[in-house]
């Protein structure tokens, strides 16, 4: 291989690496909102930051993975998320959503509650979070009607013997939910 061709191949490879680095940085920034910014409808990764998840449930926290069809974002927590004290944290836009056939956020939360009641899950109402919120202790999730037009779910799935969350973790979910309500789309 002559030095001219080698130099050209090296430049192409360097340019490709630079392009990859720029694109990777752009994706990471898009998936990591800064605290205080408005939640973007249909972008579940804008509900919380990796730092907020880390503060609530431990570190390290992997960058959120957005699932655009189901409007969810999943963060893996811990050195090994499949071993205690690791786990996974997820956000999901409940309303509006193509997966939800209701006409309002209020009805979407009511339907979710009804399904959880039928499943005989351990449920309790949560005061002071949005227009209505309930906590499902069986599945470690809080379901919230933030506004007339926006509802969401936050889920903590710890790797533990029984898979149930602690009172401290429940409080952290509620704290995160209050922050999402403050920044919810109007």
pLDDT at 31 over 60: no
Residues 43, 27 share a domain: no
Residues 121, 42 share a domain: yes
pLDDT averaged over every residue in the chain: 84
From 2-16, 50-64, 89-103, the region with the lowest mean pLDDT: 2-16
Q: Which two tokens stand for residue 101?
A: 């056939």
Residues 9, 101 share a domain: no
Residues 57, 21 share a domain: no
pLDDT at position 160, please?
Answer: 79
Residues 94, 20 share a domain: no
> pLDDT digits over 47-76, tens only?
999 999 999 999 999 999 999 999 999 999
Residues 153, 91 share a domain: yes
Residues 9, 100 share a domain: no
Range of the domain at 25: 1-31
Residues 13, 60 share a domain: no
Residues 174, 136 share a domain: yes
30: confidence class by pLDDT, cuts 50, 70, 90: very low
> pLDDT digits over 120-148, tens only?
999 999 999 999 999 999 999 999 999 99
Of 16 and 56, the structure prediction assigns the larger pLDDT to: 56
Residues 112, 169 share a domain: yes
Q: What total number of domains does the chain contain?
A: 2
pLDDT at position 162, please?
Answer: 76
């Amino acid at each position: 291989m002559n030095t001219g061709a080698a130099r050209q191949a090296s430049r192409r490879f360097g340019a490709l690496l630079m392009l990859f680095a720029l694109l990777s940085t752009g994706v990471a920034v898009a998936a990591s909102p800064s605290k205080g910014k408005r939640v973007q409808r249909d972008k579940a990764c804008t509900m919380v930051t990796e730092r907020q998840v880390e503060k609530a449930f431990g570190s390290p926290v992997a960058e959120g993975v957005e699932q655009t069809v189901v409007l969810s974002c999943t963060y893996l927590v811990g050195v090994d998320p499949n071993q205690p004290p690791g786990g996974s944290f997820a956000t999901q836009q409940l309303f509006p959503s193509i997966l939800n056939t209701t006409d309002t956020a209020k009805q979407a939360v009511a339907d979710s509650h009804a399904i959880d009641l039928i499943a005989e899950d351990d449920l309790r109402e949560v005061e002071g979070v949005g227009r209505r919120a309930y906590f499902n202790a069986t599945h470690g999730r809080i379901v919230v009607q933030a506004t007339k037009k926006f509802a969401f779910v936050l889920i903590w799935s710890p790797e533990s013997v029984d898979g149930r969350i602690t009172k401290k973790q429940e409080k952290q979910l509620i704290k995160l939910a209050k922050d999402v309500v403050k920044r919810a789309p109007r």
